[in-house]
Structures are given as C-alpha cells and as structure tokens.
C-alpha cells in the first residue's frame, strides 16, 4: 500500500498545491506571527480572523512535499503557534475575482 506522501504527490503531480492553513496562536504573539508569515514567498494571503483560528493563510507550492516541509519545518517552528490545521484545495471555482470553468 502506498504511503500518504506518495498518494498526495501523485494527485498533485501536475497541479500547483494550494492550501488554506488555520493557525491558533498565543494571543500575545499574533502580530509577531503574522509579520513572520508575510515574509514567506509561498504565503499569498494572511488574515487575522475570529472563530476557530486566530490566523488563516493561503499558500501555494509547486509540489506537495514542499508544502509539507513548510508546515513541519517552517511555520511549526514559529514562536507562539500552538496549532495548525491544513485544508488542501481540491478545485478552484473562483479566485481573486476570476471565475474558472
């Protein structure tokens, strides 16, 4: 049986990997975390939010393994982040005001 990384890499092989990542932070560190996140080139958007997450970011990567590395070795190391939840985009119908067929 294939491992999850192989399956995900195969699925996204010919597509840019887009994900929304919900981040929970120590409230004293929200500004520091947000300012650090905007510096990553693969982070397209950073939103301070209400609800289940303090911050939601939209990221894009050329391949699944690079996104996984970003989550495990980059943002998880930022001081103040207590939890992340990643939601992979399967299909895009509209983005930045542009409709997709």
- State residue 5's pLDDT score: 65
Residues of the chain under the 50 pLDDT cut: 1
Count the Cβ atoms, other than its own, within 10 Å of residue 55: 20
pLDDT, residue 96, reads 86
CB 1 within 8 A of CB 38: no
pLDDT computed for residue 8 by the predictor: 62
State residue 1's pLDDT score: 46
Candidates 14, 32, 13, 33; CA nearest to 22 is 33
pLDDT of residue 15: 77
Alpha-carbon Rg for the chain, nearest whole angstrom, is 14
Q: How many CA atoms lie within 13 A of 22 on its CB side?
A: 8
Alpha-carbon distance 64 to 13, whole Å?
8
Sketch out the chain's domains with CATH numbers: 4-99 (3.30.70.920)
């Amino acid at each position: 049986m294939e491992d999850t990384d192989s399956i995900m890499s195969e699925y996204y092989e010919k597509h840019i990997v887009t994900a929304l990542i919900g981040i929970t932070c120590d409230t004293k560190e929200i500004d520091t975390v947000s300012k650090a996140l905007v510096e990553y080139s693969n982070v397209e958007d950073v939103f301070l939010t209400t609800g289940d997450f303090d911050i939601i970011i939209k990221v894009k990567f050329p391949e699944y393994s690079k996104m996984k590395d970003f989550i495990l070795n980059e943002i998880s190391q930022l001081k103040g982040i207590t939890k992340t939840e990643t939601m992979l985009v399967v299909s895009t119908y509209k983005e930045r005001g542009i409709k997709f067929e």
